[in-house]
Every structure is written in C-alpha cells, then in structure tokens.
Homo-oligomer: A and B are copies of this chain.
Amino acid sequence: MPITLIANNYGKSRVRVLKVTHHHASHDIAELTVNVQFEGDFDAVHLSGDNSAVLPTDTMKNTVNVLAKAWSGEQIEDFATQLAQHFLANNSQVRAVRIEIAQTEWTRMAQHAFTRGSDERRTTRIAATRTAVEIESGVENLIVLKTAGSAFEGYKKDRYTTLKETTDRVFATAIKATWTYRNPQVAFGPCWQQARAAILKTFIERDSPSVQHTAYAMGEAVLKAVEDITGIRLSLPNKHCLLIDMAPFGLDNPNEIFVPTDEPHGLIEVSLQRR
C-alpha cells in the first residue's frame, strides 16, 4: 500500500508583539501573542526537499511586526484579518491561512503607565481562504469562584462512588469560551464585551445544579444577548475546592475551610448553536 501525505500545515507560533499607540496626551498599549499557520500545496517540500514554495516562518514573524505598525491597535479580529489577507494576497501557493491571537490584559494606571491584569486572555482565530473567512473569538482563563448557589446532588451512583451529595459547595472554574461571528462586519469590541458580560452574569445570578447546567446556561445567555454570534463552545474545568473534614479534630466545618486543588479536575464542555 502506498503512503500518502494527507494533510500538512506549517507556520510560526508564539510571536509576541507589543504595540504602543501614541495619542496627544497618553499612550495605549496592546500586547499580543500571534500564531500563523499556512495550508496549501507543499508536497514538493515534503517529498523532494524543494523549498521554493516555502515562505520562511521567520518572514511570518517579520510580517506580524510590520503589519502591527499599520493596525489600529484596537480589535484583534481586524489585525488577524489583515494578516490573513496579506498572506493570501502574496502567496498563491497557500490555500488557507489560520491566524490566532491572544491579547494580554493590561490596566491603565496613568497616561503612560499600566499594570498587568489577570491571566484572562481575549482571543480570536481567523480561518481564511480566498473565498471564505471564519471568525471565532472568545476568552480563556477567565477564573471565577462562587461560595453560594452551587449544588451537586441526585447523580448516578455505582459501587465506586464515594462522593457525598451537597446542596451547597464552592464552585470554581477557569472559563474558556469561543464563539463564532455571523460575518466579518460585526462590531467586534461591543460583541465581545456583551458576550463576556452574559457569561459572568449567568455565573453570578443562576443557581448551579451542576457545572453542565451552568455551562449550557452561559452559552444560552450569550446567544440571547448577542444576535451576531451564531454558535458558542464552552470548556469549564471544575477546579475542585474540597471541604476539609474536621471531625477528627472535634470540629465541624460548615463550608468555611477548603483546600483548592489543581489536579485531578473535572472538565465539562458544551457546544450550542442557533438553528
């Protein structure tokens, strides 16, 4: 049986760039980490070692820097689109370009001074060919915790089940959400703010009978709040905070002292779509 190259892609990952935009009285900053990936007709590279179709990944990095200069410094979706269009326009050997951008959070302290925010990232991913473009934006590592309004009971038990049912637990998670925009003309900034707000409002206000139920409710809230979003995927690790048993010390522990843990952790994922 012959061996076939059925798929290939290449590019540059973790291209970091800091753009400073100079206004009259103050500066804005945007810190990004960018991934670039090409797909196309690269059989000769793989099979015969002919590199003539390969734009170096080092050039991809340079291009990120150069195009960052022309970019407004505002919506990462615009920058990703500009990169994708540039690469497609100048590389006929490339069939599809994928650009991923994650934006680091900085908070202004003064006109020219900033402090680093949380590890939450605003993200986007553009998958573009010469005839189509798909835009998926979202958040990752949005860490939240609530100390009331979360339960987990009535679940299936088998002979290996030792977990105790609870009507009141700590619920902590690091939300990753990615949603798809209806088209490339939507107002990226406001849509992103509204989607994020809908997720947080759901977390705060809705009682949680399970992480699954909360994840679905978050997705539903985003789709109801933002007409220009057509689908959403949420990934919620259950970062367990375990209630410490103080009976051996003759003490009760009415949801006061917990041990936060990193591993193992639950992982709950849902995808919702308008139909």
**CB of A126 closer than 8 Å to a CB of B:** no
Instruction: Count this chain's copies in the assembly.
Output: 4
Provide the residues of chain B in CB contact with A118, threshold 8 Å: 115-119
Within 8 A of B (CB), among A21-53: 21-22, 27, 29, 31, 35, 37, 42, 45-47, 49-53
Shortest Cβ gap from A114 to chain B (Å) = 5
Secondary structure of the A contact surface, majority rule: mixed
Interface digits, A243-275 against B, CB 8 Å rule (1 contact, 0 not)?
A: 010101101011111111111111111111111
Measured in the bound complex, the distance between the Cα atoms of B254 and A90 in whole Å is 27
Provide the residues of chain B in CB contact with A42, threshold 8 Å: 212
In the complex, the answer to whether B267 meets A10 with C-beta atoms within 8 Å is yes
A interface, CB within 8 angstroms of B:
1-22, 27, 29, 31, 35, 37, 42, 45-47, 49-59, 61-63, 65-66, 68-69, 90-91, 93, 106, 109-120, 142-149, 152-163, 170, 200, 203-205, 209-213, 215-216, 219-220, 223-224, 231, 237-238, 241, 244, 246, 248-249, 251, 253-275
In the complex, the answer to whether A273 meets B223 with C-beta atoms within 8 Å is no
Provide the residues of chain B in CB contact with A203, threshold 8 Å: 113
Instruction: Using CB atoms, name the residue of chain B closest to A148.
Output: B112
Provide the residues of chain B in CB contact with A149, threshold 8 Å: 112
